[in-house]
Amino acid sequence: MAKGLILCLLVVVLASFLVEAGNVVVRKAGSVAEVLVNGVVVLRVRKAHGGFSPLERGRIVAERLAGALAKGLSPDEIAPDIIQGQHVVTIAGELIITVDREHADINQCQPWELALIWANNLRLALGVPSISFAAPALTVGKGSYIGIASWYGGKFHGRRTASGEVFDQNELSAAHRSWPFGLKVRVTNLHNGASVVVKINDRGPFIQERAIDLSRAAAKAIGLVERGIGMVKMEWLGQDKLLAAR
């Protein structure tokens, strides 16, 4: 009888902990799946989504994360992102988890905020600093960065830029401290998923915490004018050789 009881308890314990790989574990807590990294709960999956139960979603997340780390991808490249209009968390552009509206509502925040929270939980559990509005641009893949965008126009309209071009706030351009002039960059607003392609033709921004300064037209295209600043993803697309050769 005692042996049978011990065996039953052992089965319950094993059913509650599903070790996917090394330091990534899925733990079942009632109807909730908890994903732990290095013993720290980094996210809780409470609802089914995409035809998968919370536990199945938790296992998928653990498998994706463990697989990415096993391939040598860096925890530094874990970041909030947008894929096909969905707020997600990625590592070097590879999907870890999709953030659905239901989970955002449960956590009393917007999907982009929950993506940032989950990304930072993962980063901290893996020993790398969190992403914040006070941090400089962060590399999250080859030619891919996360940072804070602002915009400029007004009194700068019609002035000469650092590249020699005349600044036109109605054109899709941007300023960066060091990226080459003529570089085409896709800028995606991580709050709403809107994207725009800009050309680097000026230097700035001059506030340390900001990564890129957009023209007014570019900011308007991604819904950033009224907000003023926002977290964005910046992806290198190529370079205008004629402008770069000046």
Q: Which of 44-58, 125-139, 162-176, 214-228 has the lowest mean pLDDT?
A: 125-139
Give this prediction's pTM.
0.80
pLDDT for position 142: 84
Residue predicted with more confidence, 49 or 128: 128
Q: Which long-range contacts (CB under 8 A, 24 or more apart) does 119-123 make?
A: 119/78, 119/79, 119/80, 119/89, 121/40, 121/42, 121/43, 122/37, 122/42, 122/43, 122/65, 122/75, 122/78, 122/89, 122/96, 123/75, 123/76, 123/78
Domains and CATH numbers, the chain: 15-125 (no CATH), 138-244 (2.40.40.10)
Band of the pLDDT at 242, cuts 50, 70, 90? very low
Interval 29-70: pLDDT, tens: 999 999 999 999 999 999 998 899 999 999 999 999 999 999
pLDDT for position 243: 46
